[in-house]
Amino acid sequence: MTKGGVLRRFLRWSLVPLFVVMAVGAWLGVPRYREQAACERRGAALDERMKRLQADGKRIVIIGTKREKVVQFLETNGLDVSSESDRIPPQIAGYVRDVGCPHIFGCGDEVIIRVAVGVDDKGAAISAPTVEAMYSDCL
């Protein structure tokens, strides 16, 4: 066998498995890449929503704002409102479920957003709203 024939045979038998490995890697990797990109978009949207809630809350709910206006702010932003009179100070809080992109092993993408405003005994705001989020479906 000639030197060129040996080289061709070597290339053929070494490149075929290489192409097979590359094709399988691409076949397995592309869906994972797309899911990660979608996850990052969900996470960015969640971050943006929380920033908007925080900014709008500080602009709309100032100290002394009446209960009705606080409740209206929470409901306008799609939150379910509840009074938490057992806390010190009492609070009016709103909750909503959303999706994000967890960077915590063992957590799904479901998030509970909580916006709370401290109120006095008449229901007037005594603090700026606080915005918190927590992944609800962790192991």
Q: What is the 3-state secondary structure (H, E, C) of 112-131?
A: EEEEEEEECCCCCECCCCEE
Give the model's pLDDT for residue 125: 93
Q: Are 121 and 90 in contact (CB under 8 A)?
A: yes
List the pLDDT tens digit at each of the 139 positions of the chain.
566 677 677 766 777 777 777 777 667 766 677 788 888 899 999 999 999 999 999 999 999 999 999 999 999 999 999 988 888 889 999 999 999 888 777 788 899 999 999 999 888 999 999 999 998 877 7
Computed from CA positions of residues 114, 119, 121, 123, in that sequence, does the dihedral angle turn out positive or negative?
A: negative
How do the domains of the chain map onto residue ranges?
3-135
> 15 is written with which tokens?
């490149």
- Side chain identity, residue 83: S
